[in-house]
Chain A
Amino acid sequence: MRRTGTSASVILICLLVVALAAGSITGCKKEEKAETKEKAELVLWHYWDLPHQRRTLEALVDDYNQSQDDVRVKTRYIPDADFKKELALSMADGNTPDIALVDSVDFQFFNSMQPFVDLTDDIEELGQYLPAAVEPCTAEGRTLGLPAGLNCTALFYNADMFEAAGLSVPGTWEAFYDAARLLTTDDICGYAQIALKGEESLYAFLPILWSMGGDVDAIDSPESRQAFELLRKMARSGYLGKESISLTGSDLAGQFADGKVAMMFNSIMMADHIRERNPELDFGMTYLPSDGERVSAVGGEIFGVMEGDNEKASVAFLRYISEVDRLSSYIDGLGLLAPRKDVMDRQFAGDALLRGGADIFKTARMREISPEWPRVSAVIAEAIDEAIAGGKSVETILDETSGAIRGIREGAR
């Protein structure tokens, strides 16, 4: 009995050990957790719609994302027509992007609603920037944005058409009108104007206004009226394409590249886009017509940093893209003029057409820099639209516009 008990106990213990071993094998499965570092995400809003500009921006952002492990910059494209509203409303809702690329003329308007982060002390390179680039983003002596690039309005002309018609490039408004008249056929529009209500419309129109001696704050003056009358006259006689009222800058550049438009006023940065779209096209880019002083409008974009958690990282990104060598490396790709003279002077070497753009820039005048400018601009854009397509007399249009501008000015005071 004792022997039996002992051996039975041994067997039982063996069973126990086996059972426990089995249990421990099944019971102790390790749960592994993969730890991945969550990168902060920077959101950048822009409205660049030209393919080469978007490509260049994406490449720049990719390079930055690869260069460090802390943040990932993500871009979001918002069409120009909605951009201003979208950004303003995001400010109202408190869900702004970290960085916004805004039109230089809108910078003060946005800044008045929600101040941008002061970059004066954070980005050393700003000291080297051209006043024309930095001024729109300067308030009380502080620089609140990083100019991305500059451009200006130029007269684009289809060289083949001019040659075929035996015309030379117009230098005066009269020659311009005649050229438009002569070049207009059933298929071809002699001249087309960016007239889709928005800042771009002003950008194309203001040089005409200024060249004729007009001014925004004297919109109903005879000089100013002359500019509107020119548009009205050309529209009525069919030399100015009626579809202009729905064209953006790049739309118009597309039509020009397709040979449907003989002349246009557009940003010099469209030259690359046209060449890309129709490499065969023989076209030129020159000063706008003038009866006196040659004038063009300065355009450009400015990066603004929004206040928030990612402020520092955003500034770091801007510092990265502002480094002079890097700026040289991408600015040509954007088709813009560099916002600093040393770089601008070295730009587009061997490209006579674009190099010419830099010369035209010298005639460019800056638009008004004020918080109320977008509203003033909107009123004038409305007037341009009305002048081209509307039924009211130019005088009436300008009286109303003048009143509206006065109202805005008073409200701003």
Chain B
Amino acid sequence: MKRERTLRQKLTPFFFLAVAIPIIIFACLSMYRLERSIRASLDRQIAGNMNKADQCLDMVLDKYGTLLYDLCTDDEVISLVEEINRNQDGLEVNSNYLRRELSHICNRNRGIEGITVITAEGRTIYYDHLSASSAGSSWASEVTAPAVTEGPVYEGITEPVTSGKESVYMLRIARRLVDYEDIHKEVGTVVMSMNEDLLTEALDAWDIAENYLVHDNLIISAPDNNDIGKTIDEIKKEEYEYTSVVNERTGFTIYNRQSLKAYHDTFYEQGIFWLLITAAAVGIVFVLVYVLTRPYLKEIDTIADAMNEVEQGNFRTEVAVNDKMPVEIRKICNGFNEMVKHIEMLIEQVKAAILEQKNAELSALEAQIDPHFLYNTLDTINWKAIERGEFEISEMVGALADILRYTVKNAGGETSMEQELYWLRQYIILQSAKAGKEILVRLDVPDSLRGCRIHKLLLQPFVENAIKHGMKRKEGECRIDISMHGTEHQIHIIITDNGTGMDTSTLARLNSQEFENDTEYASNHLGITNVRKRLRLYYGEQADVYFESRPGSYTKVHLFIPAVPAGEGGTRA
């Protein structure tokens, strides 16, 4: 069984998808672009950083390399060392001069912690800037000459030099002493020991990254001196990216350690941002769906409630219509209200018909008290009258018995026009006898209409009224004309009396629709009231009656009923 869903429930998922899908697609694209752009910017940053580190390293080494170059090609220094090599240094004059030269260089240039000259003959002459001594040094005297063929040789030292309390890491640059007049002559080698701090400064990448200088797979310069001597693998951590470049001057590798935290954070923040956007958009859509559908749903609920009311039988229910309503809803409400009114009217009509039927049946019951008794009595009276030669009485009683029989038998049922007219004649005989006046009856009925069906006693109240009111004070000939005209669907019956007529106000009342509501008047003209009710009951809106009169001259009753040919239709009573 499929679950029933409201309009709102049906709409909401579509609105949700319509908003969420584009946002999610845009979010994905945006995240993708962002990722690429951050990645590119990070790569640029790393490349820039490495480039800068490489250049700064070159600049620092260039400065100290130039100092060393100048020292190694200084003609005076060369000749001093050559003198020493030739053992012409009895009083150490040359060595002392050289030491002074070395100390000058160390003292003038920050970062040079010592210079050691190893002559071709194997003598070591040095200056140790850390202990400011050229006579006693724990390390400068131990420096050995690396194999130098041409240019400078760079060597990172992973074991710190201890002098006093401080431990100092060094970078050594070694160079041959070159006599330009004979560049192949072995004069000696100079080793300059630079403080590793200079490298750290050169490689400093502020706080955005860390640079490491690696020689033979061992770190020789690092932001944290504790890392010196380790391999790059030993300091590797998660969340960091490692990039390397080889410094062409030294052959050392510069490792860049870039934290990826900012990169990940940005990405994460962007993700959250898009999530919030999606949530906000979806929220807004939900609110919009709720707010926009609410008035419609409210109206629809009202209509549904009204329908329920009507279902319960309350036909007084009406849906209030106002201008604020959308035109569609207004149409529905108006239609509903019309429909309910219509149904109510129909039901009222049905109710009235049922009531009339019941009343008629009651009347019939009353009339059937004991018809045989009445017939027998009238028969007896007839015989008595014949016995006594009273033939007029006999005729009256006979007519009365006919009337009784006609009325009692199937009262309100249908009969033929012929019979109704026959019965009317009998009735008029009785009435004229009762009034003591002869009443002439003139019939003008085409034969084609004589067979038409008509409800019993429908014309009787008009004849009765004509005799009762029109002829009561009439002098002279009294005449009642009954004429009929037929059309295809309707029969027009005109009952004319040449009685006293009636005044205009009475006429107006009789013709007015309010006539029935005027209870006082209706009780005085019960017959007419009944005829009208019966007409409505039998024929609905298809029958009508109106009166025409000129006081002292005549009264005409026009009666219109549907033409029902003989043998057709049936009684609705």
Determine the chain B residues whose CB is within 8 A of the CB of A94 once the complex forms. 149-151
Contact assessment for A89 and B180 in the assembled complex, using a CB-CB cutoff below 8 Å: yes
Chain B 8-33, CB-CB to A under 8 Å as 1, else 0, gives 00100010011001100110010011
- B568 interface residue, CB < 8 Å from A? no
A382 smallest CB distance to B (angstroms)? 13
A84 at the interface (CB under 8 A from B): yes
B174 to chain A, nearest CB (A): 13
Q: Using an 8 Å CB-CB cutoff, how does the interface string of A89-119 with B read, 1 for contact, 0 for none?
A: 1011111000000000000000001100000
Chain A residues 375-402 with CB under 8 Å of chain B are 375, 378
**In the complex, which residues of chain A have a beta carbon less than 8 angstroms from the beta carbon of B32?**
27
Cβ 8 A contact of B180, one of A19, A26, A85: A85
- What CA separation (Å) do A94 and B150 show in the bound complex? 6
Q: How far is the CA of A27 from the CA of B184 in the complex (A)?
A: 62
Contact B151 A89 (CB under 8 A): no
Q: Mark B167-195, 1 if CB is under 8 A from A, else 0.
A: 00000000010101111100000000000
Contact of A84 among B17, B22, B180, B182 (CB under 8 A): B180
Tell whether, in the assembled complex, residue B25 and residue A16 are in contact, meaning their CB atoms are under 8 Å apart: yes
Residue contact B22 to A88, C-beta cutoff 8 Å: no
Contacts of B178 in A (CB 8 A): 88-89, 92
Residues on B with C-beta less than 8 A from A4 are 10, 14
Selected from A8, A23, A88, A375, the residue in CB contact (under 8 A) with B29 is: A23
B21 and A12 contacting across the interface, CB-CB below 8 Å: yes
Contacting pair B181 A26 (CB below 8 A): no
Name the residue of chain B whose CB is nearest to the CB of A5: B14
Q: How far is the CA of A375 from the CA of B181 in the complex (A)?
A: 7
Q: Closest Cβ of chain A: how far from B152's Cβ, in Å?
A: 8
Closest residue to B29 on the A side, CB-wise? A23
CB interface residues, B 54-104, toward A, < 8 Å: 69, 73
- Residues facing A in B422-460 (CB within 8 A) are none
A96 to B25, CA, bound (A): 62
Shortest Cβ gap from B552 to chain A (Å): 78
B10 touches A12 (CB 8 A): no
A113-B183 Cα distance, complex, nearest whole Å: 7
Given contact pairs A15-B18, A375-B181, A93 touches B151 in the complex (Cβ within 8 A): yes
**Do A19 and B150 have beta carbons less than 8 Å apart?**
no
Distance to closest chain A CB from B551 (angstroms): 74
Chain A residues whose CB sits within 8 angstroms of the CB of B17 once the complex forms: 8, 12
Q: How far is the CB of B39 from chain A (nearest CB, A)?
A: 13
Interface residues of A in 8-39 (CB under 8 A from B): 8, 11-12, 15-16, 18-20, 22-23, 26-27
A91, closest chain B residue (CB): B183
Measured in the bound complex, the distance between the Cα atoms of B73 and A12 in whole Å is: 80
Number of interface residues of A (CB under 8 A): 29
Task: Please measure, in the bound complex, the distance between the C-alpha atom of A374 and the C-alpha atom of B180, giving whole angstroms.
Answer: 11
A1 within 8 Å of B (CB atoms):
yes
Residues of A close to B180: CB separation below 8 A: 84-85, 88-89, 92
Q: How far does the alpha carbon of A22 sit from the alpha carbon of B21 in the complex, in Å?
A: 14
- In the bound complex, what is the Cα–Cα distance between A23 and B184 (angstroms)? 68
Nearest residue in A to B184 (C-beta to C-beta)?
A113
A8 engages B18 (CB within 8 Å) = yes
Task: For the complex formed, measure the closest distance between the CB of B568 and the CB atoms of chain A, giving whole angstroms.
Answer: 51
Q: How many angstroms from the CA of A85 to the CA of B75 in the assembled complex?
A: 10
Given known contacts A22-B29, A91-B183, A92-B178, A8 and B14 CB-to-CB distance under 8 angstroms: yes
Shortest CB-to-CB span from B58 to chain A, Å, is 15
Q: Is the CB of A27 within 8 A of B29?
A: yes
Interface residues of B in 381-414 (CB under 8 A from A): none
> Chain B's nearest CB lies how many Å from the CB of A127?
33
User: Which B residues are in CB contact (< 8 Å) with A84?
Assistant: 180
Say which residue of A12, A27, A95 sits within 8 Å of B151 (CB atoms): A95
- Contact status A113-B182, CB under 8 Å: yes
Q: Report yes or no: A26 in contact with B18, Cβ–Cβ below 8 A.
A: no
Minimal beta-carbon separation of B432 from chain A (angstroms): 80
Pick 22 A–B contacts, CB within 8 A, sort by A.
Answer: A4-B10, A8-B17, A12-B17, A12-B18, A15-B22, A16-B21, A18-B22, A19-B21, A19-B29, A22-B26, A23-B25, A23-B26, A26-B29, A26-B33, A27-B29, A27-B32, A27-B33, A88-B178, A88-B183, A89-B73, A92-B183, A94-B151
Q: A12-B18, A92-B150 are in contact. List 13 more A-B contacts (CB 8 A).
A: A4-B10, A5-B14, A12-B17, A15-B18, A22-B26, A23-B29, A27-B32, A88-B183, A89-B178, A89-B183, A92-B178, A95-B151, A375-B181
Among all A-B residue pairs, the 9 with the closest Cβ atoms: A88-B180, A23-B29, A94-B150, A19-B25, A92-B183, A92-B178, A8-B14, A85-B180, A93-B151
